[in-house]
Amino acid sequence: MRFSDKKNKEKGAIAIILTVLILGVTLLIAMGLSLIFVQEIKNSGLVGQSSPAFYAADEGAEFALFQILKKGEGPQADVLLNKANGFFMYNETAKVTWTDTSINSLGFFGGTRRRVQINW
């Protein structure tokens, strides 16, 4: 009887060790997946900032193009446009630079930047 009791205790110890190893691996996998999910959730928040940044850049390029068509020359210096939209309550900014053959407009919103370039 004593021999079989010793065997049963060894089987129980092996089962406990195996269970702890399986739980550890499962925990590591779960932690890795949660880190990936958190990063993706943060990135999905930046997608919502992309459109206002693009529209700010587009508006800046249109402003510079309008100045060129209206006055025959572009803005006198680099232009910084601030636009506040009361409905969405956000601020967008566009930085416009231009040369004789192109307009570069960089739109900012939150942590996102989008660029529009017009060449002729």
pLDDT at 118 over 70: yes
Residue 2, pLDDT score = 61
Q: Average of pLDDT values for 53-73?
A: 80
Give dist(CA 116, CA 104) in Å, integer. 6
Under a CB-based contact definition with an 8 Å cutoff, are residues 81 and 59 in contact? yes
DSSP code for 1: -
Residues near 41 by Cβ (< 8 Å), separated by ≥ 6?
none
Tell me: the pLDDT tens digits for 7-52? Answer: 666 777 888 999 999 999 999 999 999 999 999 988 887 777 788 8
Tell me: the pLDDT tens digits for 66-93? Answer: 877 887 666 555 556 665 543 333 345 6
- Global pTM? 0.54
Under a CB-based contact definition with an 8 Å cutoff, are residues 63 and 81 in contact? yes
